[in-house]
A and B are shown apart, each in its own frame.
Chain A
Amino acid sequence: MSGFDTIIEGVLLGGVYALFALGLSLIFGIMRLVNLAHGDLILLAAYLVLSATTALGLPLAAASLLVVATMFVLGFVLQRLVLERVLGDDILPPLLVTFGLSIVIQNGLLLGYGADSRRLQAGAFESSSVTLAPGLSVGLAPLTALVTAIAAVALLQLIFYRTSLGRAFRATADNPAIAQLMGVNERNVYAIAVGLSLAVSVIAAIVFGIRASFDPSIGPARLLYAFEAVIIGGLGSLWGTLAGGIVLGLAQAIGGRINPEWQILAGHLTFLAVLMVRPRGLFPARRT
């Protein structure tokens, strides 16, 4: 059964990576912005939830709602005050600003919380498991991560294709100038997109923070996993991103099973292999 266990483990891990990737994919799709601080913002969210549960003593659910709201506002303000000024034809300024932000957040967290590993406490939930079949039980927390990822993709798809906000997103992504002529407030659409991206990242942070311990230095690795999931899955498709996360999770789980030192490396090499064989990803969006 150990081979099968590895596959289950990989698929569940993929749920977390897909959650990392959704926020990154969202703002790239809408505003062509690659947010190099994405991983560190996930870490910031995890630490905010940690503070809300420990310092404020809130239950996890209430803390999560509070931090989702906080991060949404932070994203909105970040776009309006900072990112908006550097978006343009030149790709250098937004990359450099978000890279600077990544270093600032990472070292700010180090100053505020220290280098120790932390973990979000979720009580009995962390260690309980469900039996799917005789002899096959799955941890409840990892399973919840995957289910959450699927739900998040479904919800985002719903927002994108069934609401007026989603229509504004898609219109702005296609042609910001014409979208503006049609009465879409481009600045607000972008700000909401960044806010939404960070709000989704909070979900990723919570799911990740319950499963594994974290410290301020691991933000960039989260960014790389998110990015790999997006590229493996194929640009422009949220379901593809979910699949990309699962492929990455599987690669890491299988690599780690062969040799624990190869876990992360196997993920990176899979990414490079996909880039070599299918540069547009495994499930690219069909061009219309």
Chain B
Amino acid sequence: MSVESIAVPASREECPAGVPVWQIRVGTRLSRIAAVAGIVLVVALAALPAIASRNLIQDLIFVLTMLTLAQLWNVLAGWGGLVSVGQQAFVGLGAYALFAGIVMAGLDPVAAIPLAGLFAALIAALLGPLLFRLEGPYFAIGSWVAAEALRLICAQFKSLGGGTGMSISPAELSQMFGLKTVQALLGLRPAAARDVLVYWLALLLAVLVTLGIYAFIRSRHGLALAASRDNAAAARSVGVRTARIRHLLWIAVAFATGMVGAVVYLQKARISPDAAFSVTDWTAYVIFIVVIGGVRTIEGPMVGVLLLWGLVTYLAQYGSLYLVVLGTLAILIMLFMPRGVWGAAARRWQWQLFPTQRWLGRTSGTS
């Protein structure tokens, strides 16, 4: 059957006046309001360091970096079907590349961040063809093995502290790009100014990654990705290059994840293989954020990270109990509310702040 035989006019111009046509819509009225509110929120967050305490800024660095990681995991596993339990590999690689860049190559920390992302992307490009040989669920454990192998390899670098890790002295970071400006602008001491700078970098990354994923999912490439996940054979038969799109997604996600790792460890200024490659910190929390908030939505990770932040405030002092509660919550949500908190609410009240679903509707051709 040729495409022409389906009675869909190729463009508005060909359509005779008054005849109803099918139209695919993605945007909703709420989403246009949300776009304006989103811009206001980002501007407000960017201006926040002028009035906020250092504690709040540090909390928000945690929230923003976890949000970015959650968005990245969501696009990889939720939309792409590449359920990785090894994303800590790229956080760790980004962090180690940052430290190597500063300590061994004498790079400016801010300039080292994109290089750290590139390094993570390079390793992802090398590992991808190997790990993609593992079908579906086995890819999950395979990515975990790769992360463990990379942790053990990083622990071999004695110049980067070996198995015990290392710190960067504040003196080495005092000449960092932009630091003097922030100090002068907000009248802060170097340590507090570094937090503000890292906060802005984290905000920038969160905004760019969220918008990038949003644009990607709404593009035809996003549709191709979802098709590859749902039925790879069918997707290939309509011309989607499923292997290539997944590989490119895997590399792009590693690139951004590596930059997040670099930003996180620029603030911590102390690294060890066990912390930088921690499956709990960089993958378990991230998965719980996405599951609780809602898989395959842009809003889900935002809701999830705010809930996690709330739980951290009350439960973090209990350590292990906190993780037991989070894990149980994630299991219960998966069983009884598989779309997550946001997904359930969106379905109930038809909310779409960042709509990614395509709606087929009839409109009048003359509109």
A interface residues (Cβ-Cβ under 8 A, vs B): 28, 32-34, 36, 82, 85-86, 91-97, 99-104, 106-108, 110-111, 220-221, 223-224, 227-228, 231, 261, 264-265, 268-269, 271-272, 275-276, 279
In the complex where A92-B78, A96-B334 touch, is A275 in contact with B130 (Cβ < 8 A)? yes
Name the distance in Å between B229's Cβ and chain A's nearest Cβ.
Answer: 9
Q: Are B280 and A103 in contact (CB under 8 A)?
A: yes
A269 to chain B: which residues have CB within 8 Å?
149
23 contacts between A and B (CB under 8 A): A32-B137, A34-B141, A92-B77, A92-B81, A92-B295, A96-B83, A96-B330, A99-B287, A100-B327, A101-B327, A103-B324, A104-B331, A106-B323, A107-B320, A107-B323, A107-B324, A107-B327, A110-B320, A227-B138, A231-B142, A261-B156, A271-B145, A275-B142
Q: Are A91 and B136 in contact (CB under 8 A)?
A: yes
Q: Which of A32, A100, A271 is in CB contact (< 8 Å) with B331?
A: A100
Apart from A86-B334, A261-B163, A275-B130, 17 more pairs, CB < 8 Å = A33-B137, A82-B331, A96-B83, A97-B334, A99-B85, A99-B284, A100-B288, A101-B327, A103-B280, A107-B323, A107-B327, A111-B321, A261-B155, A261-B156, A272-B130, A275-B134, A275-B142
Name the distance in Å between A220's Cβ and chain B's nearest Cβ.
Answer: 7
Q: Are B130 and A265 in contact (CB under 8 A)?
A: no
Roughly how many angstroms separate A103 CA and B148 CA in the complex, as a whole number?
17
In the complex where A97-B331, A108-B324, A268-B152 touch, is A276 in contact with B130 (Cβ < 8 A)? yes
Name the distance in Å between A41's Cβ and chain B's nearest Cβ.
Answer: 14
Roughly how many angstroms separate A111 CA and B324 CA in the complex, as a whole number?
9
A265 to chain B: which residues have CB within 8 Å?
149, 152-153, 156
Which chain A residue lies CB-closest to B138? A34
B224 to chain A: which residues have CB within 8 Å?
none
In the complex where A227-B141, A231-B134 touch, is A104 in contact with B335 (Cβ < 8 A)? no
In the complex where A82-B331, A82-B335 touch, is A272 in contact with B146 (Cβ < 8 A)? yes
In the complex where A101-B327, A268-B152, A279-B133 touch, is A95 in contact with B145 (Cβ < 8 A)? no
B80-93 CB mask vs A (1 if < 8 Å, else 0) is 01010100000000
Q: Are A231 and B331 in contact (CB under 8 A)?
A: no
Name the distance in Å between A39's Cβ and chain B's nearest Cβ.
Answer: 10
Asked if B326 is at the interface (CB within 8 A of a chain A CB), the reply is yes
Q: Are A101 and B331 in contact (CB under 8 A)?
A: yes
B interface, size bucket: 35 or more
Roughly how many angstroms separate A231 CA and B142 CA in the complex, as a whole number?
10
In the complex where A99-B287, A100-B327, A220-B144 touch, is A92 in contact with B152 (Cβ < 8 A)? no
Asked if B279 is at the interface (CB within 8 A of a chain A CB), the reply is yes
Asked if B328 is at the interface (CB within 8 A of a chain A CB), the reply is yes
Q: Are A268 and B145 in contact (CB under 8 A)?
A: yes
Q: By DSSP majority rule, is chain B's interface helix, strand, loop, or mixed?
A: helix
Q: Are A100 and B334 in contact (CB under 8 A)?
A: yes
A268 to chain B: which residues have CB within 8 Å?
145-146, 148-149, 152
Name the distance in Å between B165's Cβ and chain A's nearest Cβ.
Answer: 15
Q: Are A96 and B142 in contact (CB under 8 A)?
A: no
B interface residues (Cβ-Cβ under 8 A, vs A): 77-78, 81, 83, 85, 130-131, 133-134, 136-138, 140-142, 144-146, 148-149, 152-153, 155-156, 163, 279-280, 284, 287-288, 291, 295, 320-321, 323-324, 326-328, 330-331, 334-335, 338
Q: By DSSP majority rule, is chain A's interface helix, strand, loop, or mixed?
A: helix
A275 to chain B: which residues have CB within 8 Å?
130-131, 133-134, 142
- Chain B CB count within 10 A is highest, among A34, A94, A100, A220, for A100
Name the distance in Å between A287's Cβ and chain B's nearest Cβ.
Answer: 15
B321 to chain A: which residues have CB within 8 Å?
107, 111
Q: Are A224 and B334 in contact (CB under 8 A)?
A: no
Q: Are B338 and A93 in contact (CB under 8 A)?
A: yes
Roughly how many angstroms separate A110 CA and B295 CA in the complex, as a whole number?
29
B156 to chain A: which residues have CB within 8 Å?
261, 265
Roughly how many angstroms separate A131 CA and B134 CA in the complex, as a whole number?
42
Q: Which of B163, B328, B335 is in CB contact (< 8 Å) with A85?
A: B335
Roughly how many angstroms separate A264 CA and B148 CA in the complex, as a whole number?
9
Q: Are A224 and B144 in contact (CB under 8 A)?
A: yes
Which chain A residue lies CB-closest to B283? A99
Which chain A residue lies CB-closest to B279? A220
Q: Are A223 and B331 in contact (CB under 8 A)?
A: no
B146 to chain A: which residues have CB within 8 Å?
268, 272
Roughly how many angstroms separate A100 CA and B338 CA in the complex, as a whole number?
14
Q: Which of A97, A108, A224, A261 is in CB contact (< 8 Å) with B141?
A: A224
Name the distance in Å between A275's Cβ and chain B's nearest Cβ.
Answer: 5
